[in-house]
Amino acid sequence: MKVGNIVFEKGLFLAPMAGVSDVGFRSVCSDFGAEGCFSEMLSCRAMLHNPSKTVLMTIVEPNEKIKIGQIFGHEPEIMAKAVRNPLLDKYDIIDINMGCPAPKVVKNGEGCALMSNVCLAEKIIKACVENTKRPVSVKFRLGKDKDISLEFGKMCQEAGASFVTLHARTLEQGYSGKANYDAIAKLSQSLEIPVIGNGDVVDKQSYNRMLTTGASAVMIGRGAQGKPWIFQEVLGQTFDGDKYKVIEKHLTILRKYYNEDWLKLYMRKHFLWYTSDLKFAAEARLKLATTQNLDESMEILKQLLK
């Protein structure tokens, strides 16, 4: 897949996941072949003041290959301002979130709510494209309660988007049911710009199924949780390396930027995902879910994974 002069050789993307795809996680996913890494979604309104929380979310590691900053909002002028914000200078591509189903986002007319307001969505894309020299992409769903992805994708293309990502579920579906791969196939056939297929890729088999849609590239979200090596596995390389070392790297990067009190709670979910396939580890995993000390957690993980 090619976007301007940016070439994606493998066509593998790590999905934006608020509260999950932190800088440490993106870095270990990059080690295993995630070529394009999306940031967690960044509020354009918050970027008017650059609060420390947003600044932290824009930190990137040198080994992240193609860096994509994802923004969300509903006001074209404020979004235009955001894409000019020096905080986003490090990103190769700016992505606009038009797929988030979270009620607090949708009720502001942002995220997937924009699929029900196509005129505004179009204004936002045009405002962003006009205010940056970098490629602008759009990530969206099928629609609110029915599939309008084809019309919506065409609008994005006309408005100047360089590529789109389709998470093939409706807003109403949330994360239930199955992603509609036929819709991804139809969109890929109909647009001239590349389409990234997204939804339910969790292993080599589902990755191969996604490739049959003709999508130009594949995005993986939940399938990478606790399993950043999925990016090499879908390409046929099994991972038999040291899982503990992967977790240690993930944590070491985060420790450079975040305080221990916050991290010890934040990392619990990652630790549980990293150990979710271990049998007979219920007691140790319960400790991981409750301990107040990261060094203790790492000791438990060392014992579990040795």
Ligand X SMILES: Cc1cc2nc3c(=O)[nH]c(=O)nc-3n(C[C@H](O)[C@H](O)[C@H](O)COP(=O)(O)O)c2cc1C
Cα 24 from chain centre: 14
Alpha-carbon distance of 277 to 164, in angstroms, equals: 33
We find the least distance from the C-beta atom of residue 303 to ligand X, in angstroms, to be 28
CB 166 within 8 A of CB 198: yes
- On the 0-12 / 13-18 / 19+ scale of CB atoms within 10 A, 61 is middle
* Nearer to ligand X among residue 186 and residue 270 (C-beta): 270
Alpha-carbon distance of 210 to 175, in angstroms, equals: 17
Alpha-carbon distance of 134 to 127, in angstroms, equals: 13
* Nearer to ligand X among residue 27 and residue 304 (C-beta): 27
Residue nearest ligand X, CB atom distance: 221
Alpha helices in the chain (DSSP H): 23-31, 52-57, 76-83, 103-106, 118-130, 149-159, 181-190, 204-211, 230-233, 243-257, 260-274, 282-290, 294-305
Q: Return the DSSP state at 292.
A: S
* Nearer to ligand X among residue 102 and residue 155 (C-beta): 102
We find the least distance from the C-beta atom of residue 102 to ligand X, in angstroms, to be 8
Contact positions toward ligand X, by CB under 6 A? 15-20, 40-41, 70, 97, 99-100, 139, 167, 198-201, 220-223
We find the least distance from the C-beta atom of residue 39 to ligand X, in angstroms, to be 8
Q: Does the annotation count 100 as an active-site position?
A: yes
We find the least distance from the C-beta atom of residue 269 to ligand X, in angstroms, to be 9
CB 94 within 8 A of CB 71: yes
* Nearer to ligand X among residue 46 and residue 298 (C-beta): 46
| Chain position carrying tokens 């795809």 | 21
We find the least distance from the C-beta atom of residue 2 to ligand X, in angstroms, to be 22
Active-site position among 37, 100, 128, 156 = 100
* Nearer to ligand X among residue 123 and residue 141 (C-beta): 141
Looking at the annotation, which residues are catalytic?
100
